[in-house]
Copies of this chain bind each other. A is one copy, B any other.
């Protein structure tokens, strides 16, 4: 391997370590706590150095968000490639999303941030990473429809969006209210999720 690629690798690794530092900061204090100074300190770099790797703070957030989306996509792909029935796959997607939220709360937050904030502008790359997820889900719904297990008058694109919206809403509820719901009603997050899945299944199942 030549000098050039080694340097490239070093540069990439430094970039990565900045991203990691940013993750540490946000994992500790929430998305809102991200500041360039804090990242620099965490990464043991000077403030200005950060700007050698990212054009501004927003680019750090955007980069991490794309990473998060791709990771979510990757989790979904495993579901797609499994040999479950098409309907089960749809349900598993929802469950994977929940797992993703549990195992990687920061990434989940990043995905949600851009999902929930219409003042943030998404770059082409960001939009593409989002589209990949949408397309995957669309494919799965199409598959289910062709397998004849889906209510016929469901439009694929339309339902893809609905599924995404509903799931996001349920997970958000669990995330923000999960604790208090458990304390006051003894309802566990997974219970909520199961109910959602049941409604979903009934809602889209072919009527006999």
The answer, among B127, B169, B185, B195, for a CB contact under 8 Å with A168, is: B169
Interface residues of A, dominant DSSP:
helix
Give the residue name and chain of the B residue nearest to A155 (CB).
B195
What residues on B are CB-neighbors of A204 within 8 Å? 199, 202-203
Give the residue name and chain of the B residue nearest to A191 (CB).
B158
Copy count, this protein chain: 4
What residues on B are CB-neighbors of A176 within 8 Å? 114-118
Q: Is A20 an interface residue (CB 8 A)?
A: no
Bound together, the chains give a CA A127 to CA B179 distance in angstroms of 13
Q: Are A162 and B195 within 8 A (Cβ)?
A: yes
Q: Are A175 and B205 within 8 A (Cβ)?
A: no
Supplied contacts A114-B176, A168-B173, 7 more A-B pairs, CB within 8 Å: A115-B172, A154-B195, A162-B192, A162-B195, A199-B200, A199-B203, A202-B207
Q: List 6 A-B contacts (CB under 8 A).
A: A30-B119, A116-B116, A118-B176, A165-B166, A199-B204, A201-B203
